[in-house]
Homo-oligomer: A and B are copies of this chain.
C-alpha cells in the first residue's frame, strides 16, 4: 500500500499537449469550438486527444487564461483574450467579435448584487447585433 506522500507537491505538469493547445490559442483569432481546435491541432500534425483538448480548455478557462462564450446554438466557444475583464460584441451574421469594456457596467452589477446581499459575484454579458458590413450587404 502506498502511504499518502504529503510531500508530493501536486503541481501542474508541463506537457507537450498542454503547450500545443496554449500556443494554438495564442495564434488563432476569434472564437473557436473545442472540436475546431482539436481539428486544427491535428492539421498541424500534433497528436492530441479530443478529451485532452476539452480538459485543457476547461483548465485554462478556470484559471482565467481564456474566455468561454455560450452562444445560442449549443457549442462552447473558447478564445484567448486580452488580459483584463471585458465583454464581447458579436455579429450574428458573420461571427466577427469586438472586445468592449464597460467599467460602469461592472460596478453597476457589483452594486446591484451587493444591494441584494449577494457575495462572490460574477457576471456574463454579451451583445449581439448585425455588423455594418453584414447590414449593408
Q: In residues 81-137 of chain A, which contact B (Cβ within 8 Å)?
A: 89, 91-92, 98, 100, 102, 104-105, 108-109, 112-113, 116-132, 135
- Asked if A70 is an interface residue, CB under 8 A from chain B, the answer is yes
Taken together as a complex, chains A and B put the C-alpha atoms of A92 and B118 apart, in Å, by 10
Are A123 and B118 CB-contacts (below 8 A) given A89-B113, A105-B105, A108-B105?
no
Are A131 and B118 CB-contacts (below 8 A) given A123-B126, A124-B125?
yes
Closest chain B residue to A92, Cβ basis:
B120
Please determine whether A117 and B132 come into contact, CB atoms closer than 8 angstroms.
yes
Taken together as a complex, chains A and B put the C-alpha atoms of A128 and B123 apart, in Å, by 6
* Chain B residues, Cβ within 8 Å of A117: 131-132, 135
Please determine whether A126 and B129 come into contact, CB atoms closer than 8 angstroms.
no
* Chain B residues, Cβ within 8 Å of A108: 102, 104-105
Closest chain B residue to A131, Cβ basis:
B118
Interface residues as binary, A33-74 with B (CB distance below 8 Å gives 1, 0 otherwise)? 000000000000000000000000000000000000010100
